[in-house]
Amino acid sequence: MNIVLKLEHAVSDILAITQRNLIKYTRLPQLIIFSTIQPIMFMLLFTYVFGGAIKTSTGSYIAYLLPGILVQTVLFGSMQTGVSLAEDLSRGIIDRFRSLPITQSAILAARTLTDVVRNIFVIFLMTLVGFIVGFRIEHGVLHFLGGLLIVLCFGFAFSWISACIGLSVKDVETAQVAGFIWVFPLVFASSIFVPVDSMPSWLQVFAKHTPITATANAVRALTLGQPAGDFALQALLWIFGLLAVFIPLAVISYNKRKG
């Protein structure tokens, strides 16, 4: 089979399975609703409860918080990839996919792509609520959209990490716990909610060098009109690095699971 046709088939496989994944959300809209309510609640609580106490260089806390909380939101959203994958693997439909002449890794690609689509929807709503509570784009819409694009790519990269976790555990419950537990320290020890400078120095060493801080800083700089180049480069390097490691890893462990 020639390579163009092969590629065409792979793309159509990915789209077909992505569509299948998305249909599930239209049948179970509560899945989307609850995964949106939680980050919105976070945003409101941080803005109104902690906002006054947290000193940031930006004018209002929401201007600081929104870019960060978008990163947190896609991160948590991405962790759903592994859970959904573990769920699919435990169901009969996976046998159907495996007995069809498809590009087998399309199942993984479709899953991560589905979560990108879901993340787009969720960050759109988050931004909307952000506007209601006082967030403003200060530095041009294009910069802001560029920021969102970085956020989505960041989510996509973490989806592959999550896929690896989902593939390496035996059941959905384990995927749930294993997928989230390690994200919490990363999220809080970062510049998402507070400036890293306010942390004890030993923690700063760690917090300054995570992909989360890099991404949050890049998006924040882009929305606030600060020089963003360094942060954006750092974030993109992280994203490509993670993808380069975790895509092959996920594909290998998917193929290994056979049986």
Should residue 3 be labelled a site residue for another protein when binding is judged by CB under 8 A? no
Cα–Cα distance measured from residue 39 to residue 119, given in angstroms and rounded to the nearest whole number:
12
Should residue 115 be labelled a site residue for another protein when binding is judged by CB under 8 A? no
Should residue 11 be labelled a site residue for another protein when binding is judged by CB under 8 A? no
The 3-state DSSP class for residue 151 equals helix
Should residue 28 be labelled a site residue for another protein when binding is judged by CB under 8 A? yes
Cα–Cα distance measured from residue 218 to residue 216, given in angstroms and rounded to the nearest whole number:
5
Looking at 3, 99, 202, 229, which residue binds another protein (CB under 8 A)?
Answer: 99
Residue closer to another protein (CB basis): 70 or 107: 107
Cα–Cα distance measured from residue 219 to residue 123, given in angstroms and rounded to the nearest whole number:
13
Looking at 2, 3, 4, 27, which residue binds another protein (CB under 8 A)?
Answer: 27
Should residue 29 be labelled a site residue for another protein when binding is judged by CB under 8 A? no
Residue closer to another protein (CB basis): 2 or 258: 258
Looking at 42, 97, 180, 188, which residue binds another protein (CB under 8 A)?
Answer: 97
Name the site residues for another protein (rule: CB under 8 A): 9, 12-13, 16-17, 19-20, 23-24, 27-28, 91-102, 258-259
